[in-house]
Structure 1
Amino acid sequence: MAASTPPRPGQQGRGLRLTLERTPVTPGHFMTLTVAGELDTGSIPALCELMSQVLGEGSRHLIVDLSEVTRCDNASFFTLLGIREAAHHAGGSLTLADPSRCVRLALAHSVLRDLLPFHDLRAQEPPDT
């Protein structure tokens, strides 16, 4: 299932601002969410809605792949921290994975940099033989 936010005024025809894609890893417990596009105050409601839906459906362990994020602001980090806390309170976890260059740069300047660890999931994949 994919959800997206509408383009900002003046960006009609340029594609979507944010695309969210769900990939079940193990039915009922683990879910990977891929975020692509702009992750900012304008697109956070779509992310929160999808996270609430996924947690409500019973997935407790979420991986958020941020490798395709093209823009990220500080409000996004506060939102991700809040979502991580909600997942923990539901008996689950939130793993932030594969941050794009802009996410890494924004996080380096954020007061939350030590509270939001990122994991490089690609480094854990075995090389193609």
Structure 2
Amino acid sequence: MGCFVAPLTEAVVVTAAAVIVRQKEKKHRDQSQNLANEKKEGISSRLFRLSKLLFGGAVLLIFEHIWHGEVVPYFPFFTAATEGDEAVIEMWQEIGTSGVLMAVLCTLVWGVIEVLRYIFAKKNVKKVVAE
């Protein structure tokens, strides 16, 4: 019913963190001319990749819930919220279990992707140095 709330919330928090980190990276880059010449990817771009993954998953979940009639475009937005207290409790349990699990799984997949990117980047650097 509302499992998209957890990944959507994480996406908003990660995006805010990425914006803050990007501002700090830019400020640090402006102060240091050495970093301005580097082509190294910053943490902010990695965080933006995670937020895009989370936002994309949340949008797909929202679409799926709209398709099944669980989310409506008028207040209270969740059809379970109009069905009584037991349905609302069930909705919050779904958010806390399925939603959190999906958000954690997206974050773990992103982490694996970042580790693989790091490993492949190291191998490419070794190839270039060997040549």
Larger of the two Rg values belongs to structure: 2
Q: Larger relative CO (CA 8 A, sep 6+): 1 or 2?
A: 2
Shorter-chain TM band:
under 0.3
TM-score by length of 1: 0.23
